[in-house]
Structure 1
């Protein structure tokens, strides 16, 4: 089977600033690949190229079997893009947001689609409430639900848990994992290492314009020497304490 996302030699510069200098990457169908990198590494630039919002200077890329440069309309019909901040209308209810997107995409039975998405992302009870009353995790889940109207086979998530507390972050993780379990291909950009550990089937590290490492978590761990084994008392992390106190929800 062809890869859901295939990137070969992609380059992008802004004047004298060379952001991408020959990126090679493949994302298998139905998998989650986490793209790691520091601020300014070029993660968002690569996602913008793959989603046809930006043209590469060199190289080639395909998404869902469609060439990004020569068939942008077909690519856009095959993808969903969720940015770093939830793009929801806070005045409308959750259901109204979903119905609006379904109508814009000319999906049959917008109301039925909205109800199905609310149930899919655990928002059925909150569907009639204004989004302005939602928590950060609920807004992000609604944002992802809106982006998935029409069931696109490939989803790009650009740092989807930015600014969320630990509990909300785990709610989003559960939603993302459910996507892949349902056959959706996910390319996830993140700076959060534990996010990549929890979610990704494969992890790619983007550094100085290139993918310098690409593999499973076990393969990446094998790149460093085996640690010295010492018996120590493990103390809970602050995140574990927080979740234990408030009650963890949405744990993958």
Structure 2
């Protein structure tokens, strides 16, 4: 169900996902995990999935209206491995060229509920393009107990290199009779695309057309396995043959994180939008 959605053709369009990644039943030495809280109040957890680990997309860190300073780390506290009065901190060390590291202010365990550690966009941007090992550390009786590791990739934002296109669309029109066997939609090469990304294409049409097009005609999702190449979708003739005279609105979006989270679906904007008439 859409919630607080932006224009679906541009930027984040938030949807509820109804799932969590971990809970307080995780046994020490567990690891921290990552979430983000949108301006609508919804919380989304960002899973760590092999082989990509936890992916933090650059788009999340650049003032998107839904997600501003939204990131946080969670320490899953339980009554077996933690004690009241423990001091807990979260810290990270980058592996690559950024040389970055961070240590968040300690918090005190006052009950057996998870601890949340905010992580600002400014701090996250310092780690962009790098892989970071994140742990939490319990300080107790003068000693330190480190947790297991969470590996986080702070990836660069996607860069579209051109306008999506459909063979046969000319002057804002598609002549149905000239394409009885379907048409091919091409998404030009997208810089910084990774194999954890996916691309979705939505096709709507009606007699009025434009952004208010109401009728779903096609919906395709393609996992990206060749990020260095253009991506193509085949649109079958049944999508358009019976709708002569209607206007088509076609738009694309990306899945940005690992795990194809609906919360991280990101519209391509004008370069990923086509409008044309079926004649």
Which has the larger helix fraction?
1
* TM-score bracket relative to the smaller structure: under 0.3
* TM-score calculated relative to the size of structure 1: 0.27
Which has the larger strand fraction?
2
* TM-score calculated relative to the size of structure 2: 0.25
- The structure number with the bigger radius of gyration is 2
